[in-house]
Structure 1
Amino acid sequence: MRRDYIRSTLLIFTSIVIGVVGWSGHVLYLPVALGFPVLWSISQTRLIAALVSAGYFLAASRGLPQGVAAFYSSDIWPGLLLWLCASLSFVAVHTVLWTKDSGVRPFRYLLAAIIMSIPPFGITGWAHPVTAAGVLFPERGWWGLGFMTAGLAGLVTRVWPAVAIALTGFWLWSAAIWTDPKLPEDWRGVDLELGASLGREAGLQRQRDMIATVRGAADDGARFVVLPESALGFWTPTVARLWTSASGNTDATVIAGATVLNATGYDNVLVAIDRNGGHILYRERMPVPGSMWQPWRSWFGGSGGARADFFANPVVSIGASRAAPLICYEQLIVWPVLQSMLHDPDFILAVGNGWWTEGTSIVSIQRAVTTAWARLFSKPVVTAFNT
């Protein structure tokens, strides 16, 4: 009995360590997350499998309580509540599908992995081990994703040590030759450090400062300049005219985040602006649940919150190129990027407004995940974040 208790405690503790290290924000550490399927499979009981799942997920998403407290300017308790609620789907799926039967266990785990990749459960499908495919099998595309899927299935079988050794070999080889994704030619992503004021300070001077930033990048030779999520604040006819007139003597096209109000709430979007005018380029498919996407408001006849377009506009055309846009939260979950890759875009365009994540590794994790997907599909990537 004492031995079982020690083993169970060790499994739970190890799952926490795997969550912390694997999701530390360093792209080459992502394969550490592959330890979770092993721990899940060797759990002695369904309860231990649930605790292992909870330990891994809560450790991987540990920045959420602090980030929510900063976002709402509140104490830590709302963040803790959201943190625990977000873990419920991950824990429930892996608890229900856990089994002692080694013959069906790989199919059960793959089913759990699929469920956590797509809506509705995939809405909170953070820390998905499949993300490590880009590190283990760079430039292998869908074949690499298939190899990774087979590896995940192998890690929950009795021969998991041999599978783990093989995957470790791929990991070490990839780390030895690793290179980050390239920036597309003529593109420039602009990182800002404007904190919580970005998107909230909508005065004329702020817009002029942004225009000056874009002009500086254009003067350095950039034909396409990307600003972070919410950079323009509310997208109105006045803002559109200001930016269009400012683009009159430059060939640069600006891609920037903005908010568009509608009858039931708002859309979190990217807009494209050049000398001919501006238009909405992309509507975010999956805003942050809870803080942005609040579907329960409509259930009670209310309004407000960001609209989720789930499977809309997976790629957008910019000039002669096609991009896969990912706004903030979409970089942490699986289906948006895979849906975009089905359309074979020319590059990935990732933006975010992470001022509320100060003191956490959330923005670093977003960058790491985006880099991993870009390497898997051999795509250049443009990023622009505000912190």
Structure 2
Amino acid sequence: MHRKYRQPVLLLAASIVAGTVAWSGNALSLPIALMFPVLWALARTRLTTACVSAGYFLAASRGLPQGVATFYASDLRPGLALWLCASLGFVGVHTMLWTRCERARALRYLAAASLMAIPPFGIIGWAHPITAAGVLFPGWGWWGLLATTAGFMGLVTRMWPAVAMMLSGFWLWSAAFWTDPTLPETWRGVDLELGASLGRDISMIRHRDLIATVMAQASRGARTIVLPESALGFWTPTVERLWVQALQETDLTVVAGAAIVDARGYDNVLVALSGGGARMLYRERMPVPGSMWQPWRPLLGQSGGARAHFFANPVVDLTGERVAPLICYEQLVVWPVLQSMLDDPDLILAVGNGWWTKGTSIVAIQRASAQAWARLFGKPLVISFNT
């Protein structure tokens, strides 16, 4: 291979490896994402930077084409189109802010990382290396976030070998003593394997089956039981009455996903149910762009799609505890969890409906991300997924 092309090809290959391994669904592999700032800084041209950025992002989000094809019951073409379009923000930001000037490089990378962490670019800010902070510095909270950010800035300078060795030391220490986030004693997150029928089968039989599942968890000592996203389907007065009556002779609280629909669209929500009644607990801040959140519809005079409540209800009160809910896609981007942590909640609640991700690592990545954030801030974690 000609020397002119050798370095770009090696950087591209390394970026693909970094994206693939870091985002494999194992929380302890997340620090491998810190290879990306090094590769970004080693690029000698803006074109190489674009290739490195694309290689990392596309490898990290490799499950998207298959997941979209499953969701829409179609071939891979729509998924491939969405996969490539989603990469444009990440690639564009990192390519535009790349510079040959070493003195400016650290601040340029800090700007790129910041843009990909907050809206509007943060809306598609998947695979953000800052997620590794929870593995490198568990329990450090905001100081761990600051230390990881400082590590980013060091990795794009000539000092990167020393910085990489230091971060590797923290990584090895954390891996040696790693423990999963704790689960609150009386809380239970229920994982279901009901596939695409969850939320679509709205029969009384399905609801009674879910109620039976809740009662089985209660018999094991649980008092707050969490069901996945979309578990209740469409939220109606009939569904509310059924569940409230079933819980009337108990001291249980059930948190479950549902959809509240009106003429303009719908809200993806969590509902809290008990024998005393039901209330809307949380409205999703960031539904999945494209398949759920479709902001172009109002511009075209159309209705439909999920509403995004970007900075609403970061923390909610439930059974005397302050809870930070994260529904599905919110576990893959940075800003929802950081917004919630500003209010110092008592625990993190992560739910999802990942039936469409079968055969991919998307649900495993969501779990790993939630675990990393919970460990960073030292918060208990309750997880409930349907697959």
TM-score, with structure 1 as normaliser: 0.99
3-state SS of paired residue (1:17): helix
Shift of 1:219: 1.4
| Partner residue in 1 for 2:171 | 171
| Partner residue in 1 for 2:338 | 338
- State how far apart, in whole Å, the 1-side matches of 2:383 and 2:294 are: 27
Percent identity, aligned pairs only? Answer: 70
The correspondence of residues 83-98 of structure 1 with structure 2, limited to 5 A, is 83-98=83-98
Shift of 1:7: 1.0
Is residue 118 of structure 2 the alignment partner of residue 122 of structure 1? Answer: no
Contact 1:267 1:284 in 2 (8 A): yes
Aligned residue identity for 1:258 = A
Aligned residue identity for 2:331 = Q
C-alpha RMSD of the superposition: 0.6
Shift of 1:299: 0.5
3-state SS of paired residue (2:102): coil
3-state SS of paired residue (1:29): helix
| Partner residue in 2 for 1:223 | 223
Runs of 4+ in 1 over 6 A off after TM superposition: none
- State how far apart, in whole Å, the 2-side matches of 1:303 and 1:225 are: 34
Shift of 1:171: 0.3
Shift of 1:143: 0.4
Is residue 57 of structure 2 the alignment partner of residue 57 of structure 1? Answer: yes
Is residue 283 of structure 2 the alignment partner of residue 283 of structure 1? Answer: yes
Contact 1:272 1:278 in 2 (8 A): yes
3-state SS of paired residue (1:322): strand
Aligned residue identity for 2:134 = G
**1:45-102 Cα distance to aligned partner (Å, 9 max, x none):** 0000000000000000000000000000000000000000000000000000000000
- State how far apart, in whole Å, the 2-side matches of 1:211 and 1:273 are: 11
Contact 1:218 1:250 in 2 (8 A): no
3-state SS of paired residue (2:37): helix
- State how far apart, in whole Å, the 2-side matches of 1:178 and 1:301 are: 52
The correspondence of residues 99-138 of structure 1 with structure 2, limited to 5 A, is 99-138=99-138
Shift of 1:263: 2.8
The correspondence of residues 209-288 of structure 1 with structure 2, limited to 5 A, is 209-288=209-288
Aligned residue identity for 2:7 = R
- State how far apart, in whole Å, the 2-side matches of 1:37 and 1:255 are: 40
| Partner residue in 2 for 1:191 | 191
Shift of 1:352: 0.2
3-state SS of paired residue (1:103): helix
- State how far apart, in whole Å, the 1-side matches of 2:39 and 2:11 are: 6
- State how far apart, in whole Å, the 1-side matches of 2:218 and 2:324 are: 23
Contact 1:137 1:376 in 2 (8 A): yes
3-state SS of paired residue (1:192): coil
- State how far apart, in whole Å, the 2-side matches of 1:262 and 1:220 are: 38
Shift of 1:4: 2.4
Aligned residue identity for 1:254 = V
Aligned residue identity for 1:360 = T
- State how far apart, in whole Å, the 2-side matches of 1:174 and 1:145 are: 15
Aligned residue identity for 2:303 = S
Contact 1:8 1:48 in 2 (8 A): yes
| Partner residue in 2 for 1:372 | 372
The correspondence of residues 143-154 of structure 1 with structure 2, limited to 5 A, is 143-154=143-154
Is residue 77 of structure 2 the alignment partner of residue 77 of structure 1? Answer: yes
Aligned residue identity for 1:371 = Q
